[in-house]
Amino acid sequence: MRKLTREKGTSGFFEELFLFAVVSVLFVATLLVAVYYGGVKAQEYEKVQFVNEVYNFALKVRGYQPLIHDTVEGMFDYHKIKSVTYDELAKDLVPGFKFYIAVYDVSDYAMHYNATWGNLKDSNTYGYYKVVITYPVDIWVSDHEIHAAKMEVIGWK
Instruction: Single out the residue of 139, 156, 131 nearest to residue 69, CA to CA.
Output: 139
DSSP secondary structure letters along 58-88: HHHHHT-TTTBSTT-TTEEEHHHHTT--HHH
From CA 86, how far away is CA 65, in angstroms rounded?
Answer: 15
Q: With contact defined as beta carbons under 8 Å apart, do 105 and 138 qualify?
A: no
Q: Which residues of the chain have pLDDT under 50?
A: none
Residue 7 pLDDT: 60
Residue 130 pLDDT: 87
Residue 26 pLDDT: 92
Residue 125 pLDDT: 64
From CA 48, how far away is CA 39, in angstroms rounded?
Answer: 14
Residue 39 pLDDT: 85
